[in-house]
Structure formats: structure tokens, C-alpha cells
Amino acid sequence: MTKHIICIGGATVDYTLKSLHALELSTSNPVTSFTALGGVAHNVALNLASLTDQVQLQCVVGDDREGQQLLSHAQKKGIITDHSLILQNTMTSRYYAVLDHQGELHIALADMQIYDHIPLHEFTASWDQWDKNNIIFADTNLSTAMLHHLIQLCEKKQIQLCIDPVSIPKAKKLPHSLAGVFLIKPDRFEATALTGIPIHSVDDCIKAGNMLLERGVQNVIISLGKSGYVIINKTVQAYFPALHVEHVVNVSGAGDAFVAGVLFELKQGATLQQACITGSAAAALAVQSPHTVADTMSLANVSYQINRENHHATIF
């Protein structure tokens, strides 16, 4: 039976400012700006919709024009949004990103108060229908109580649950026991927040990853941005370089594209190493686009990225 991927969490309106020169504090900086529909779970679902079918998005939006746009746009891309909620008298969340002149994130600000008002029982009612034919992806925009419930449910039903911790503060929502988590993908700062281990090297990544394994996670991918990523599980501990990209335009959607590539391959039954190669290729496509979700995302273009550069791993 075909597996369905369900993405649960953030759906936002993204406002991105990119500096034309090196940023200077306490003065005006010339920028280019653009607005897009975003949010981690939303972006992962949108990337996935360009790679496969049977993708669902469960999110919350306000009863405003932006919320209507988010759900309508997702539906037009073939994404199922049946279990998303529209909260009355509430504003759809906003995310503001300031990029430096090289396209790297300088600072991000998030107005996510809507997630503090999600009715738990109403939002989670459909989860009882899940089975082993589902792959669940969640970000930590969900409340602490909802994340605990999600992890326990997936452990009980033996469902593959993949989590992106999203940010340092939101990573701290996760419980100590992560026994229901198949995969977690923090960046090095989020991994430090989860484990207390300052990460300055691959060895530090492996130490942090092993601590997360002790807490019950089956697989850990620690993102090092443009430097690559480290995979840690019981059988493999490996560093992989990122694909080389000559001209980085916008890094904002790289992590979401990476996750989408990984989820796509997990749906096909691929190994985690194979899945990460596809994820890295999807991320390479993403950073070459001015948009948070690249218009060029497709299986053909992902395959092209993989074929143009060989991957090598150092096993520890």
C-alpha cells in the first residue's frame, strides 16, 4: 500500500529582506524584499507535492485573507488540507527574515501566537486514523502538550515520526523521552539546545547525536548548513558534505527542501543515507532560488543535482 506523508505544524506568511551590501547596525540598509507563503510544515509539504502525491498538510490559519490564500494555494498544488483548522478572530502567523548580501540568514522574527490557541482535541481527532502506512512530519510550532501526545501516539502505533526542531526556543518544547521519534533533524544550535553539548566539530555532532539516541530517537541528522550534515544512528555515524552551489540566492528554504527530499525517499523505502543525498540535492535547488520553495523543484532537477556531484562520507 502506498504510504501517505502528513506534514503537521507551521503555515505562515513570510516576509524576506535581503541586503544589497554588508549589513550595518544603527543605520538604514538598502534591501530587496518579497513576500511568500511559508512555514516549515507548509514548505515541506509544498516541496513534497513537486516530488510525489498523497501529501497532506495539517496546520492552523487565521480567518484572514492570508489564511485563505495558504490553504487555497496548497490545495491547488494537490495537497490535502482536510484536517487543517481556521481559527476565528485570529491572525495567520507571520515570519520575518533578514538575509545578508550573501543570502545567509542574519536574523529572523516570528509572530506565531496562533499556535498557542490550537484546540488540542479538535486538532488531533483525525490522528486516531493513522497506521503504519503513514509517515508523519512535524515541526515544533505545535504546543508542548501536542508534541508529547504526538510522540506517544507514534510510539504506540509504530508510525515513522520525523521532527524538525525549528529553532532553539522551540526545540526546548520536546520532552526528554523521544522514544516515539524515528528521525530528528536539528541544526547544530538546536542540537546544542537539546543536549547541552556545544557543537564546534563533527565529533561534537556525534556526541550530541548519541545522546539523542539514548533518549530514544532512532536516527539523527544534524545540519551544518553549507558545510553539510552528520548522520547518527546505531549502525552509521557519518559526515557528508553539502553539494557545491556556485551562486547562493536565498538559504531560507534549504532546510525544508532537505527534509522533503528525505521524506520522499523514506516513502520509497530508501535507506537514510540515500534519502539524505536526495535531501541535499533538493536543498541545493532551494538555495539557488529567490523563493522559499523553489519553482524548479522536481524529480528531474533533483536527479540532475545528484548526478553533477559525487557524494563521499567519512565513517567514524
Q: What is the pLDDT of residues 249-284, one digit of tens each?
A: 878 889 999 999 999 999 999 999 999 999 999 999
Q: Which of 186, 211, 215 lies closest to 197, judged by CA?
A: 211
- The pLDDT score that the predictor gives to residue 217 is 98
Whether 244 has a pLDDT exceeding 80, the answer reads yes
Domain boundaries, the chain: 4-315
- The pLDDT score that the predictor gives to residue 310 is 57
Q: Which of 240, 275, 283, 234 lies closest to 258, judged by CA?
A: 283
**Any idea which fold 4-315 has?**
UDP-N-acetylmuramoyl-L-alanine:D-glutamate ligase (3.40.1190)
Q: Which of 220, 219, 240 lies closest to 229, judged by CA?
A: 240
Residue 69 and residue 81 in contact, taking contact as beta carbons nearer than 8 Å? no
Burial of 216 (0-12, 13-18, 19+ CB in 10 A): middle
Q: What is the pLDDT of residues 57-116, one digit of tens each?
A: 999 999 999 999 999 999 999 999 999 999 999 999 998 989 999 888 899 898 988 998
Q: Among 126-130, 142-146, 196-200, 290-294, where is mean pLDDT lowest?
A: 290-294
- The pLDDT score that the predictor gives to residue 309 is 66
Residue 57 and residue 42 in contact, taking contact as beta carbons nearer than 8 Å? yes
Q: Among 41-50, 177-186, 198-207, 291-300, where is mean pLDDT lowest?
A: 291-300
Q: Which of 87, 137, 144 lies closest to 117, judged by CA?
A: 87
Tell me the backbone φ, ψ of residue 132, rounded to 5 degrees: -65, -10
Dist. CA 245–CA 43, nearest whole Å: 21
Its pTM surpasses 0.85? yes
Dist. CA 120–CA 70, nearest whole Å: 21
Q: What is the pLDDT of residues 111-127, one digit of tens each?
A: 988 998 899 999 999 99
